């Protein structure tokens, strides 16, 4: 079969691949600690689930506007003001998860041959989506010594006449890094000078620790007209399976992205959207409690990893991932991740699942119980000591 060029490079997402390998080992009777997939280990907050069930009973089970219900988009606009993001509902598009509203703006903006800069290591869908949209992906390395932010000179060196968009992700998957305000200002200056758009994936913006503010580049003068914020409910509200996300963008772009949603997915489930309104209005305390939990687990897990000879892990400022540097162990990251799964029973990802620049790193999610995290540290320590 002759398949289209634009999908020829599509790869598995590492987290799904490792999860299914780990599950087949479990079927053979092996005991596995699952730290591979990036989703909260607690249930959707009860008030959200109740609202979703109530909405089904009330009949929110039919087609609805492709861009999402007006009152949900108003709630998102209101809610975003807490972070200094001022927008109109007409700039907001709701979708079934953050993923579609990440892909569709790229489809709406990129012409064949346009270059899109994206972080390496970074969320695997960035490169895939740029290619699906017909653009040319240009990786920009993240630098551990700069809190896993860009080296700004390396970023500038990759900007060309064809640069149409830059993808940012802060707090980041897989590194947990948060881009500082001065770096955001420098990036905003480059975007305005070279007239490219910024797609800022802020899905982890509520999961920040030690009072690290997750600032949005949108709040910098001149940026609302060239920024697309991608956000969603999966991570903050433990709603990964509900499929609810949104993006804030210039109004003209939002109109076209709504049309892409019309033709690709139709609309987002109505009862999910009703549940989303309750999440925004009623769940601040639940989110704060969960963030405190993650912070405790992060502190203990990262300290545990750092106690293993050959592993060096910086304290991530946000999200729920640890991204330790394991280069001193002297085994390529993919081999190390495979061996940890098969020989030590710890499922984690190779840094290279997020791009070639992830070589020398592993990614563990710490959205797991303290007991599982402690056991993982024990198993990793024992495995590394036995090498
Ligand atoms: N962006 C990042 C950085 C992610 O890590 C994820 C999920 O893993 C997503 C977007 C997609 O989120 P959603 O479940 O809302 O589609």
Identify the CA nearest to 271 among candidates 119, 52, 11.
52
- Which residue ranges have their beta carbon within 6 Å of ligand 1? 38, 97-99, 123, 169, 173, 201, 203, 232, 234, 240, 245
Q: Which CATH class is domain 5-43+285-385?
A: alpha beta
- 60-282 topology per CATH: 3.40.640
pLDDT at 211: 80
pLDDT at 30: 97
pTM: 0.97
Distance 343 CA to ligand 1 centre (A): 30
Distance 204 CA to ligand 1 centre (A): 9
For residue 268, is pLDDT > 90? yes
Distance 318 CA to ligand 1 centre (A): 14
Left, alpha or beta for 119 (phi > 0: left; psi -120 to 50: alpha)? beta
Q: What are phi and psi of 359, to 5 degrees?
A: -60, 135
Residue to mutate (ligand 1; options 100, 123, 349, 363; most atoms within 8 A of CB): 123
Atom of ligand 1 nearest to the CA of 102: 10
pLDDT at 342: 97
pLDDT in tens, 6-33: 898 898 888 999 999 999 999 999 999 9
User: Is 5-43+285-385's fold the same as 60-282's?
Assistant: no
Annotated domain spans of the chain? 5-43+285-385, 60-282
Stretch 64-68: mean pLDDT = 98
For residue 212, is pLDDT > 80? no
Cα(257)–Cα(247) distance, rounded to whole angstroms?
10
Tokens of 213: 């503010």
């Amino acid at each position: 079969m002759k398949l289209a060029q634009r999908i020829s490079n599509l790869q598995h997402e590492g987290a799904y691949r490792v999860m299914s390998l780990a599950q087949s080992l479990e079927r053979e009777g092996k005991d596995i600690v699952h730290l591979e997939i990036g989703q909260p280990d607690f249930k959707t907050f009860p008030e959200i689930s109740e609202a979703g069930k109530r909405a089904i009973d009330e009949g929110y089970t039919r087609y609805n506007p492709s861009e999402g219900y007006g009152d949900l988009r108003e709630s998102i606009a209101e809610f975003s003001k807490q972070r200094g993001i001022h927008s109109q509902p007409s700039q907001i598009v709701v979708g079934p998860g953050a993923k579609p509203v990440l892909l569709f703006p790229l489809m709406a903006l990129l012409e064949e041959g346009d270059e899109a800069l994206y972080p390496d290591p970074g969320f695997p869908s960035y490169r895939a989506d740029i290619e699906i949209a017909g653009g040319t992906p240009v990786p920009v390395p993240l630098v551990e010594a700069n809190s896993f932010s860009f080296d700004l000179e390396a970023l500038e060196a990759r900007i060309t006449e064809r640069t149409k968009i830059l993808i940012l992700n802060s707090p980041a998957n897989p590194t947990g890094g948060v881009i500082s305000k001065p770096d955001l200002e420098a990036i905003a200056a480059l975007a305005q000078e070279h007239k490219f758009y910024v797609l800022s994936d802020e899905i982890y913006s509520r999961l920040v620790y030690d009072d690290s503010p997750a600032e949005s580049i949108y709040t910098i003068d001149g940026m609302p007209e060239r920024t697309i914020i991608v956000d969603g409910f999966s991570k903050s509200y433990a709603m990964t399976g509900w499929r609810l996300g949104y993006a804030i963008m210039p109004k003209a772009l939002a109109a076209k992205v709504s049309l892409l949603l019309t033709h690709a997915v139709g609309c987002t489930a109505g009862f999910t959207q009703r549940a989303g309104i309750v999440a925004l209005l009623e769940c601040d305390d639940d989110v704060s409690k969960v963030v405190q939990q993650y912070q405790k687990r992060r502190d203990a897990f990262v300290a545990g990893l750092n106690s293993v000879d050959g592993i060096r892990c910086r304290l991530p400022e946000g999200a729920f991932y640890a991204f330790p540097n394991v280069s001193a162990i002297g085994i390529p990251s993919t081999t190390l991740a495979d061996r940890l799964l098969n020989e030590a029973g710890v499922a984690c990802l190779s840094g290279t699942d997020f791009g070639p620049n992830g070589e020398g790193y592993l990614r563990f999610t710490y959205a797991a119980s303290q007991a599982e995290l402690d056991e993982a540290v024990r198993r990793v320590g024992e495995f590394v000591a036995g090498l």
